[in-house]
Amino acid sequence: MHGSADLVLGTMYFGTRLDERASFAQLDRFVEAGGTTLDTANCYAFWESGTGHGGQSEAVIGRWLAANPGIRERMVIATKVGVEPTDDGGVEGLSAEVVQRESARSLDRLGVDRIDLYWAHGEDRSTDLEETVAAFGALVKNGLVGRLGVSNHPTWRVERGRRLAAALAVEPWTALQLTTSYVEPRPGAPVPGKDHRFGFVSDETRDYLESHPEIELWAYSPLIQGAFDRGDRPLPEVYDHPGTAGRLAALEQVAERRGTTLSQVVLAWLLSGSPQARPIVGVSSLDQLDDALAASGLELSPEELAALDAPR
């Protein structure tokens, strides 16, 4: 069984594309429906901000928490570090100095004394991995962070980081955030808007997670910007291949039988998979949020899951 608590509310555009009123409305609706987990980042959303820097999303969440006394204890707040732009045109990276400094800034913007899940947002091969792992581990030891996660890293680096954590006797990464959906792009083809080389779930990822059930998978952009149900947003051309056609046909059959949208079936399929993927749902309206929340209560039968998994 899964429910709304398994969905993650993506807050990327809070404070930029979405003003504070609209952001608060989403947060309120999400919590009213039983949602508990918020995903943000220190860099959200620098590309939408006139400053060229992020922090707007965290700040809005902080003001919402302050406006709702007592709600903090009900929430799981996840944020990230690693890809915020620097003033010289670079990227902050994952050095110990950056991890310590930016975690403090995130805590301040969020108005909390602990981050529940702190993500290494992207790779930084200019910093020794042991330094990064030790810096993240120190945050947990000092009570500033609960759990640790890693996003947009190749599997071998995830495993190396976890082994380093064991050798250093510090908290390991126990969450992995990548993008995935019911349909997949052509292997090796560039995907518009996805500039992380190792940002996609692969068969190797799934195999690794099946062997490491202690690692939780979070899936960003699971609905491919609304392409399953919005006629004005078709799937990008990179998804146009024979495998997609068969999967879309199976998806449409299940959705028609259930009287649901295609997106709802996609979310339910992710939540029911092995390994399970917790979808991060970023929406622009309350109607879209309600649609996603409805999917959290959609339990697919073994026969439906088999039908959805069959086409390749």
Query: Mind listing the pLDDT tens digit for each residue in 9-46?
Result: 999 999 999 999 999 999 999 999 999 999 999 999 99
Tokens of 268: 């339910």
In the chain, how many domains are there? 1
Domain containing residue 9: 4-238+263-300
pLDDT computed for residue 249 by the predictor: 94
Range 163-171 average pLDDT:
98
Distances in Å between the alpha carbon of 156 and those of 69, 153, 159, 161, 179? 42, 8, 5, 9, 17
Question: Are the C-beta atoms of residues 280 and 10 closer than 8 Å to each other?
Answer: yes
Question: Are the C-beta atoms of residues 138 and 175 closer than 8 Å to each other?
Answer: no
Task: Establish if 249 belongs to a structural domain.
Answer: no
Is the preceding peptide bond at 275 cis, omega within 30 degrees of 0? yes
pLDDT computed for residue 311 by the predictor: 73
pLDDT computed for residue 122 by the predictor: 94
Task: Establish if 222 belongs to a structural domain.
Answer: yes
Task: Establish if 248 belongs to a structural domain.
Answer: no
Q: What percent of the chain has pLDDT over 70?
A: 99
Task: Establish if 308 belongs to a structural domain.
Answer: no
Give tens-digit pLDDT for 183-215.
999 888 888 777 788 899 999 999 999 999 999
Write down how long the chain is.
312
pLDDT computed for residue 1 by the predictor: 61
Range 154-162 average pLDDT:
97
Task: Establish if 197 belongs to a structural domain.
Answer: yes
- The counts of H helices and E strands in the chain are 10, 8
pLDDT computed for residue 310 by the predictor: 85
Angle of CA points 173, 177, 178, to nearest 5°: 140
What's the CATH number where 100 sits?
Answer: 3.20.20.100
Q: Looking at the chain, list the stretches that DSSP marks H as alpha helix, in order from N- to C-terminal side.
A: 20-32, 56-67, 96-110, 129-141, 155-168, 203-211, 242-258, 262-272, 286-295, 302-309
